Amino acid sequence: MQLSREEFWILDTTTRSNFVIPLSLLNFPDTIAFNKPYHNLTTEQLVDLLEFMQKQGDLVVFRYEKELFPECKAMDAAPQRAPWVRDVVDFTPVWEYPVFYPRATIIKEFAIADEERKENPIGTRVIDALCFCATRQGAEKWEETAQVDWNKYLDDGFSLIDDADLAENQSLWIGRAATLSEQTLDAYFDWKTRWGAHPDSRETSYFRRYHTERIAPWKATYWKTFSEGFECDYLQYTVHRTRGMHKAEYERYQVFWEQSWSEHHALFDWCNRWTKDSPFADG
């Protein structure tokens, strides 16, 4: 079944994520929450759509419980995990026992979130909040509409390690990159090495890549599993050039960075989107 632009927007938000997402973020009046163009729905229209997508079986709305997702204590806290372990959230419990949430409950959830945002504009409650994820059916519809090229898919998570002894403008972390093929990993680290040394980059990074591991079966996302995939650990040391800059100097740097980022997108194949830029004719 063909998805509408608005249905695709909502599914695109959750199918790309391996985190528990509060439902109220969909009603943010800007692009901050998901770093992409806004869906342009009114609150009433959004609530109607969420009701419809639940009834269609494309979306699951659920009440977050600490016991269900113990690895996500709060949105503003770093995930607690051991190094060299890649986290992929398991939504099987909410898939198996879905609960329908009517419009009155969703509207109340939005109102509570609005009040909380007045006190903490950048924080969003997760514990006891309504959250959402795609169903397998919804994810498959999204996959078909987005025209996914899984050979270009890459998941790169990281775990900050103790950098207390480093200077203020430096950071150190352990990363784990995951892809469908070793070739994509090679291309990715080639890009990271080049980008880390780019003169217009806002930061300079140095990488030490460790072993590449074949995973079988390999869970690419919470809803997609392949017979095998590859994951690679690496250590990254970064010097952040823009920390401590005055505003005018930072703005000039930002212009250079945006230009060089566009150049890198054009030069390196791994940067190409793993989904169609826009599945709709008019963007």
Residue 207 to residues 200, 204, 240: CA-CA distances in angstroms?
A: 18, 10, 15
| Residue 185 token pair | 């990993």
Crossing angle of helices 103-119 and 43-56, in 10° steps, is 130
**Residue 137, pLDDT above cutoff 80:** yes
SS3 letters across 211-253: EEEEECCEEEECCEEECCEEEEEEEEEEEECCCCCCHHHHHHH
The confidence score (pLDDT) of residue 198 equals 66
pTM of the shown model: 0.79
| Residue 174 token pair | 């352990």
- Listed in sequence order, the residues at least 6 apart from 171 whose beta carbon sits closer than 8 Å to its beta carbon are 160, 163, 237, 238, 240
pLDDT in tens, 15-59: 988 888 899 999 987 666 677 778 889 999 999 999 999 999 999
pLDDT in tens, 99-108: 999 999 999 9
| Residue 276 token pair | 């169609």
Task: Please answer whether residues 161 and 83 qualify as being in contact, where contact means their C-beta atoms are separated by less than 8 angstroms.
Answer: yes
